[in-house]
Each structure stands twice: as C-alpha cells, then as structure tokens.
Amino acid sequence: MGLEEDVTSRDGLLASLRDVSEKQFMLVRNLVKPVEAALGQAGLDVIDRGFRQFGEWRGENLRIAPSAIAGNQNARAILQNWDSGDLVLGTLDGSNEISGGLLQASITMPAMLGSEQFLGAGNEHLLRHYWAETMSGIAAGFSDGCTIRSDAPDIFGPWTITVEFLASHAKGRVRSEGIDTEILSDPERALPLIRRSSRNAGALYMFVAREVIRNYDAAGEQLVREGVRGFGRERGLALREKHLREGRELNMKTLMLDWDGPLVSTWVFKDEGFLSEGTWHQDCIYCPYADVWTQFGNEGMDLGYLYDVELHTTLYQTYHPQALVRWESLKTRGDHVCRFRFSIPELVGPEDPQFSMKKRAVGD
C-alpha cells in the first residue's frame, strides 16, 4: 500500500478502507491497555466517557449532513447515511439489507466490527465498551429522540445495530435501499468515505486522550504516550518482520513504498517529493487527523502533537533504529503544511536533499 496505494480498483479501495478500520481498533486497544492496567475500572470509566464524547461528535456531524438537513431524520435514514465505512465493511460478508422504517430500523452483520483486533482472553469487553458508548453517543448527538443499541451475544457472531426514534422526532421519507456497498466500485464516492473514516479515527484518539489527561493530568498523559508508543511499536515491528521475511532491505524506500496503510486516499501531498534508501522528503497539505484536531483549538493541537511525536518516532525507530524523524513544519505546531524530512543517516546518499529547519512564514 503506502505511496503505491491502488485508488482506482474496487479491491484497492476495499483494502484501504479495511486498513483504516483495522488501525483504528489497533489504536483503541493500545490506548486502553495501559490505562486499564494502571487504573482498573476507574480508568475504564474514563475511557468510556471518551468513547461517548466521540460518538456525540459523530452524531452532531450526522445531524448537519446534507441528508439530515433535507429532512431525513429517522431510524432507517441514520443507517443509510452513516458517517463512515463501518457499516459498509460490516455488511460485505453478509446481507446489506435494513429492516424497519421510520421509528425503528436495524441491520445484522456477521460479526462485530473490530473483533479481529480483540482476539484473546480478556479483550472482548473493551470492544463492547467501545461500541456501546459510541452508539449511545451518536444517538445523543443526533437527536434527543433517538437511541441506538449494539447487540452481540458473541463479538465473533451476529451483531445487530438497532436505531429507534420517538414519533415526535422522526421525519422524512423512508427509502427502501440497504447499505450502499457498491460505493467501493466508484472511486469518486469511495475516496471521501475512506477519508471520513480516517477523520473519525483521528477524532477517536483525541477524545479518549483528552478525557484521560483531563482526569489524571500528568499521570494520564504518561499513559496516553505509552499507548501511542505501543501502537507505533506494534506497527513498526510488523513492518520490520514482514520486510525481513521477504528478504528486502530495511530502508526508507522499502518502508514508504510498502507502508502498512493507505496514504494516497487519505493524505494529500503537494508533490511527488523525494524518496531514496536513506531519505524521504515530502510536503503534506491535507491530513484527516489534523483536520479534526484543529477544530478543538490549542487542546486538540497539543494532543495531535503528542500523537505525531510518539507515533512517528516509535514506529520509524522500531523499523530501523537509526531513523531520524524531523519536520521542517508541522500542522500540529501551528503550520499550514507538514513537511516530512525523515532519514536514516547511514543510508543517506550524496545526492539526497538535506534537512534544514525553515523559518516559519506568516500563514505557513
């Protein structure tokens, strides 16, 4: 995937959307693990509040979406106009049919989305917490006459989402369509869906991290940093082992061309940049995570900067211990563009561009 991501075929777009979802749940697992270990149930209660706030934010976004503004505010319409790729992915291996109508509607999927990331004794409850609180939050953010339930006796078995509306709050027409899984055959529609899903992942991190730090201050920040490092370490180690197993050289070119997730569909780069065995220089003008973090002022930017530093340094240095992570400018430091200037000094060639910290111009 990485810089050679396929954004034209259905298979390529599906792989990108799946990876966004997988990384989201991998991040959740890594964020929750140190908090639960250090703080037990009290820590999980704080995490739950973060999940719920994340859901409320998503519900508010659903409420201001064009379909809702046009009057389609009812049980079936919420599922049909979902704000990310959750339901598309959940119905690919089953039925995409929605039952019900104006006041109650539901859909059943083969397994709870994210379950593969929570395999192992003692992990399943975390995924249940995530979906229960997120769904409750989405309902609250959308309308005080709405409720959403997530039901799964076994997270690896049938999973049903049920939306209910009070008659006094439901309005609009009821369309017969199910979940639009054909969206993945149309790049012009699939790419915005992938990007929205990625924005949601960035928001999820921010709401959870914010709540942990607000409640536990420096101790909470330490736990958040530990969680983000765990996420970076897991990804960097997987990439390192994959490339060694394939007999490939561990260098910047191998890493960026075979990155473990979508780059082209989610991030927007100013140009092709420069990539060699020792150097990667490229300017990013749109980041779906920073797009969310900037909405929350200095607090969102500070949490984003924590993520940027801990994730990138840990991932790249796990992959190659000599990697240097540097930016000439960075959105979470208040700049307009993220100028990636990453390198592995021992592999830098004489023709490779050098790092230099630019003086920030107004509006940069």
CA distance 265 to 327: 22
d(CA 33, CA 38): 9
CA nearest to 117, candidates 20, 5, 40:
20
Paired with 267 in beta bridges are: none
List of residues 6+ apart from 184 with CB closer than 8 A: 10, 13, 14, 17, 88, 190
List pLDDT tens digits, range 3-28: 788 889 999 999 999 999 999 999 99
**What architecture (CATH level 2) is domain 10-169+179-190?**
2-Layer Sandwich (3.30)
Q: What residue ranges do the domains of the chain occupy?
A: 10-169+179-190, 196-347
HSE (side-chain half, CA atoms, 13 Å) at 262 = 29
Of 164, 127, 152, 154, whose CA–CA distance to 51 is shortest? 127
Residue 363 pLDDT level (bands cut at 50, 70, 90): very low
Quote the percentage of the chain above a pLDDT of 70. 97
Q: Which tens digit of pLDDT belongs to each residue from 330-361?
A: 999 999 999 999 999 999 999 999 888 765 44
Task: Identify the CATH class of 196-347.
Answer: alpha beta
Per-residue pLDDT reduced to its tens digit, 107-130: 999 999 999 888 775 778 899 999
Can you name the residues that pair with 327 across neighbouring β-strands? Answer: 340
Which CA distances in Å does 114 have to 64, 86, 95? 27, 10, 18
Instruction: Give the pLDDT confidence score for residue 54 in this predicted structure.
Output: 98
CA atoms within 13 A on the CB side of 101: 8
Hey, do 10-169+179-190 and 196-347 end up sharing a CATH topology, with the first three levels equal?
Answer: yes
Section 277-299 average pLDDT: 96
Token pair 């958040």 in the structure block, residue:
224
Tens digit of each residue's pLDDT (9 = 90 or more) over 142-171: 999 999 999 999 999 999 999 999 999 988
Say if residue 291's pLDDT is above 90. Answer: yes
Count of other CB atoms within 10 angstroms of residue 81: 16
DSSP-based three-state secondary structure for 284: strand
More confident residue, 293 or 272: 293
Is the Cβ–Cβ distance between 1 and 260 less than 8 Å? yes
What are the residues whose beta carbons fall under 8 Å from the beta carbon of 54, sequence distance 6 or more?
A: 134, 137, 200, 203, 204, 207, 208
- pTM passes above 0.85: yes
Structure token digits, residue 138: 């989405």
Rounded to 10 degrees, the C-alpha dihedral 297/299/305/306 comes to -170
What is the rounded CA–CA span in Å between residue 263 and residue 162? Answer: 34
CB–CB of 155/127 below 8 Å?
yes
Contact 81, 72 (CB under 8 A): yes
CA distance 333 to 329: 7
CA torsion through residues 174, 176, 181, 185, sign? negative
Q: How confident is the model at residue 1 (pLDDT cuts 50, 70, 90)?
A: low
Q: Nearest-CA neighbor of 28 among 208, 190, 275?
A: 208
CA distance 233 to 321: 12
Q: Is residue 187 predicted with pLDDT exceeding 90? A: yes
